Amino acid sequence: MRLPPRSFTGQLALLLFLALVVAQVVAFLLFAGERMRVARQAYQETVVERALVLRRLLVDMPAGLRPRLLEVASSRFVRFWTSDQPQTGNGTDPASRYLGTELAKALDLPRRRVRVAVGFDADDSRWWNPFDTTPPPPPQIGWFKAAIGMPNNEWMNIATAPPPDPRPFGRALFISLGLSTIATLLAAVLVAGRIVRPMKRLAEAADRLGRGEAVGALPETGPDEARRSARAFNEMRERLDRFVRDRTQMLAAISHDLRTPITSLRLRAELVDDEETRDKLIETIEEMQDMTEATLEFVRAERTEEDTRPADLAALVDSLAADLVEIGYDVEVSAEGVRPVVRGRTVALRRAIRNVIENAVRYGGHARVTVSVPDGAAPREALIVIEDEGPGLPDAELERVFEPFVRGETSRSRQTGGIGLGLAVARTIFRSHGGDIRLRNREEGGLQAVLSLPV
């Protein structure tokens, strides 16, 4: 399953972002309970301190002012009021007993004059509605309730519900997540760039090398894996160059060295008295010479130093067809409203296309050439379709004719065909550009050659 971002940088950033979100959420959930416990403890201590101060004030205050003081001290979250009887009993849990004892010591009162109950399950939502302006009545139950004895046999009652739980997904989470995301994405871009740049150079160099272009040594930079990849590519390029260079030099040397004995044979053939024998010898020698020259051309086609540049394929085919028409070839060209631009060596491409068109005219008398870019091709390809009305080929020969020195016409007559290297050279050139040449027999008769190149 592929992640939506296709680039390495996008995928790395997405994965880091998802991992960061999960880590932040888990961390906030884990610490939410601790935060709630600390907040409740602090809130409880605040209520107890207020109760201590309020009780001391009530002792020294005239009785007429006490209700007003209790009303002012109360709030939406905690209520203070007096009554003849305590409004709560003593809790039996350790927290209630401990807090009651501490309150009694702080007020210098007997323990029986202080009653504390902690841990009640309060659920009076009116205490927590900030838009409710109606003073709520004293709560009957609460998270913390206490009753402290007064000198006049009254009891000061305290009731409060637990503080609102801190929100784990509040502003702090989003601020932390935002800052962490920015830092993580910056780190992802820097790390991915350090990894991706050498890999992009490697991919571009491999593509150019596959098209037959001259490629220099790649800089061995980046992480160790990228350095090893660049080093392996450089070694492979050197070995390929050495192999092709040695083979090319060997074939070129053989073909060149054959010229001398061929020339010597021709001179001697001229001295043969029998005219018929002399003509046959000279014809055979000329065929040998043509094969030697064709071999040299084939070797040069596989390894050329021509620069690669963008080319308008339709314009290139139009120009080539016009040249062929001028020398008497019957060629018809059409382009399906497209002007595909390909990257290649234009001289080599002209030679390859010309070889195929000449074959079509030689065996079919007429060649129809169409340039198109099919829809939906990925990666998109430009197609040159060359059709003739000749006899076609047996299906078993459709691939074999691309082999060197194999001809579709087997008589070996120089009047009916060439040496048998035209299609081999053409396919070699197209494959070195990342394309190919395929042949098929047309249903209505004749042969169709499909030449493809990446756009």
- Is residue 233, in this structure, part of any structural domain at all? no
Distance CA 430, CA 398 (A): 17
Question: What is the tens place of the pLDDT at every residue in 356-383?
Answer: 998 888 888 888 999 988 876 545 788 9
Mean confidence (pLDDT) of the chain: 77
342 closest CA partner among 375, 367, 308: 308
Q: Show the tokens assigned to 173.
A: 């989470």
CA angle 331, 337, 343 (to 5 degrees): 80
| 56 phi and psi angles, rounded to 5 deg | -65, -40
Give the CATH number, domain containing residue 329.
3.30.565.10
Give the CATH number, domain containing residue 123.
3.30.450
144-149 vs 114-118, strand pairing mode: antiparallel
- Is residue 349, in this structure, part of any structural domain at all? yes
DSSP 387-440: E--S----GGGTTGGGSTT--SSTT--TTT---S-HHHHHHHHHHHTT-EEEEE
- Is residue 3, in this structure, part of any structural domain at all? no
The whole-number pLDDT of residue 130 equals 35
Distance CA 385, CA 332 (A): 11
Q: What Rg, from alpha-carbon coordinates, does the chain have?
A: 48
Across the range 90-101, mean pLDDT stands at 82
Query: Among the three residues 160, 187, 221, which one is the final residue of a domain in this structure?
Result: 160
| 24 phi and psi angles, rounded to 5 deg | -65, -45
pLDDT band for 271, please (50, 70, 90 cuts). Answer: confident
Distance CA 419, CA 337 (A): 37
Across the range 198-217, mean pLDDT stands at 78
- Is residue 328, in this structure, part of any structural domain at all? yes
Q: Could you list the residue range(s) of the whole structural domain that residue 137 is in?
A: 11-160
- Is residue 65, in this structure, part of any structural domain at all? yes
pLDDT band for 428, please (50, 70, 90 cuts). Answer: confident
200 closest CA partner among 186, 213, 184, 219: 219
Q: Residue 415: pLDDT above 60?
A: no
Q: Residue 204: pLDDT above 60?
A: yes
Query: Among the three residues 111, 131, 160, which one is the final residue of a domain in this structure?
Result: 160
Q: Residue 133: pLDDT above 80?
A: no
- Is residue 228, in this structure, part of any structural domain at all? no
Positive or negative, the Cα torsion across 63, 64, 66, 70?
A: positive
Query: Among the three residues 160, 184, 201, which one is the final residue of a domain in this structure?
Result: 160
How many CA atoms lie within 13 Å of 159's alpha carbon, on the beta-carbon side? 23
- Is the pTM of the predicted complex or chain greater than 0.95? no
Q: Residue 137: pLDDT above 50?
A: no
The whole-number pLDDT of residue 126 equals 36
Question: What is the tens place of the pLDDT at every residue in 121-131?
Answer: 444 333 333 33
- Is residue 324, in this structure, part of any structural domain at all? yes
Across the range 178-187, mean pLDDT stands at 79
- Is residue 212, in this structure, part of any structural domain at all? no
User: Domain count of the chain?
Assistant: 2
